[in-house]
């Protein structure tokens, strides 16, 4: 059997000495894979790059076979994308997330919107907002669409300014004001409002990233590194010096010799809300979180024989501030940037899962004015 279509190349891997297996998002036939004979030749290498648009024919004896692709270029974008880190981040995001689509099921809306993003990718003020909208569409196409039309609590369509991370629904200003610290801010451009600004685009990526991780990547055990949020706006190259790395202060960690006594101090004396103790064997601590309106206090007690907190308490028997934790949008990108600037990442540089169930890294205190710094994936 045989069919013809147009498509966007998502990924390429070598096969044998001279061929390649190509993953393509097509308009009429969905995400499809096929063998390109001679795909590693000098003439085909520039064509077989992620982000390029091609005309193609697919042929196989049976439908369930891998089949063979014959490709002709329509538009070769990879050359001018790869020279710009921000645009490359956008391409990696789009191509990577597209591979979560089921094979051989048409998704014309996703294809057309993705093509719009790639065709606009030379306009650094436009493509990030289009990519955020594309991610919204991808969530909807996969059955996890957000409902931004009316308030989840009241049903009102007026003053929708928040998004609930639990339901994926909009929340009005009045209904959400008391819980605003736990809600996402709803960018107006996602609900048909004004043009997007950089802050709104960043918030849009926070929202789509959260729900994509929750519903799409995490259930599949995927560790997709989202790079597009690193540099959303700027000139033709990524101005990394102007990009913010740190997000909000997640918590201040205090080592205590007696966790139960420390928890009672905050709960009974200071009247704070205190969580139950939570053992973290991988980090050698038991933790309790003290909830504050704008951040948290983490109380740490040694757990196990090799706890790093034990040595700290030997030097500070009464306890004391052990580290501060900041959120970052992309922990791997933050790590790479810090290492490039000479900072030392503890523990071999590979993230561990922290008490919040998210990846964390620790930075050497001698590089940060004597303060142990923890980075946590936002």
Please report which confidence band the pLDDT of residue 222 belongs to, taking 50, 70 and 90 as the band edges: low
Quick check: is 175 in a domain?
no
Give the HSE-up count for residue 109: Cα atoms under 13 Å, Cβ half-sphere.
10
Q: Are residues 253 and 319 in the same domain?
A: yes
Catalytic, out of 200, 203, 327, 374: 374
Q: Collect contacts of 87-92 with beta carbons under 8 A, ≥24 apart.
A: 87/121, 87/122, 87/124, 87/127, 88/227, 89/227, 89/228, 89/229, 89/230, 89/231, 90/117, 90/121, 90/127, 90/128, 90/131, 90/228, 91/50, 91/51, 91/118, 91/121, 92/50, 92/227, 92/228
- At which of 200, 224, 240 does a domain end? 240
Q: Are residues 235 and 120 in the same domain?
A: yes
Tokens 């300014």 sit on residue: 161
- At which of 76, 91, 126 does a domain end? 76
Quick check: is 119 in a domain?
yes
Q: Are residues 236 and 256 in the same domain?
A: no
> Tell me: the pLDDT tens digits for 256-312?
999 999 999 999 999 999 999 999 888 899 999 999 988 999 999 999 888 989 999
Domain extent, residue 30, equals: 1-76
Question: Which of the residue ranges 166-180, 250-264, 351-365 would you say has the lowest mean pLDDT?
Answer: 351-365
Question: Which of the residue ranges 36-50, 207-221, 284-298 would you say has the lowest mean pLDDT?
Answer: 207-221
Quick check: is 93 in a domain?
no
Q: Are residues 356 and 249 in the same domain?
A: yes
Q: Which residues contact 178 (CB under 8 A, 6 or more apart)?
A: none
Quick check: is 120 in a domain?
yes
Please give the average per-residue pLDDT across 318-333, as a whole number: 91
Q: Rounded CA gap, 139 and 141, in Å? A: 5
Q: How many domains does the chain have?
A: 3
Q: Are residues 125 and 68 in the same domain?
A: no
Strands (E), the chain: 2-15, 19-26, 30-36, 53-59, 68-75, 160-163, 170-172, 184-185, 246-255, 273-274, 278-280, 285-291, 296-302, 320-328, 352-353, 359-363, 372-377
- At which of 240, 255, 285 does a domain end? 240
Q: Are residues 332 and 213 in the same domain?
A: no
Please give the average per-residue pLDDT across 38-50, as a whole number: 91
- 374 is a catalytic site residue: yes
């Amino acid at each position: 059997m045989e069919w013809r279509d147009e498509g966007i190349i998502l990924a390429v891997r070598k096969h044998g000495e001279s061929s390649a297996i190509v993953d393509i998002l097509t308009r009429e036939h969905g995400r499809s894979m096929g063998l390109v004979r001679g795909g590693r030749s000098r003439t085909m290498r520039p064509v077989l790059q992620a982000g390029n648009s091609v005309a193609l024919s697919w042929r196989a004896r049976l439908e369930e076979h891998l089949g063979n692709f014959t490709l002709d270029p329509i538009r070769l974008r990879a050359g001018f994308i790869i020279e710009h880190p921000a645009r490359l981040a956008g391409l990696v995001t789009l191509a990577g997330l597209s591979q979560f689509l089921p094979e051989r099921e048409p998704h014309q809306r996703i294809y057309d919107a993705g093509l719009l993003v790639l065709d606009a990718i030379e306009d650094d003020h436009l493509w990030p907002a289009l990519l955020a909208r594309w991610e919204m569409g991808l969530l909807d196409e996969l059955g996890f669409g957000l409902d931004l039309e009316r308030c989840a609590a009241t049903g009102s369509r007026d003053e929708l300014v928040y998004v609930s991370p639990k339901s994926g629904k909009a929340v009005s200003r009045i209904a959400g004001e008391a819980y605003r610290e736990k809600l996402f801010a709803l960018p107006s451009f996602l609900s048909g409002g004004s043009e997007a600004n950089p802050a709104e685009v960043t918030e849009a990526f926070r929202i789509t990233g959260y729900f994509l991780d929750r519903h799409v990547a995490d259930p599949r055990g995927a560790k997709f590194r989202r790079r597009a949020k690193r540099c959303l706006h700027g000139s033709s190259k990524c101005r990394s010096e102007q990009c913010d790395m740190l997000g909000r202060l997640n918590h201040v960690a205090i080592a205590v010799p007696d966790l139960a006594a420390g928890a009672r101090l905050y709960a009974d004396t200071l009247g704070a809300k205190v969580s139950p103790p939570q053992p973290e064997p991988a980090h050698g601590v038991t933790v309790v979180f003290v909830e504050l309106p704008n951040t948290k206090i983490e109380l740490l007690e040694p757990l196990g024989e090799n706890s790093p907190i034990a040595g700290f308490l030997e030097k500070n028997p009464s306890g004391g501030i052990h580290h501060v934790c900041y959120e970052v949008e992309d922990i791997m990108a933050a790590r790479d940037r810090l290492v490039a600037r000479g900072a030392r990442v503890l523990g071999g540089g590979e993230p561990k899962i922290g008490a919040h169930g998210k990846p964390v890294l620790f930075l050497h205190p001698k590089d940060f004015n004597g303060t142990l710094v923890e980075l946590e994936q936002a």
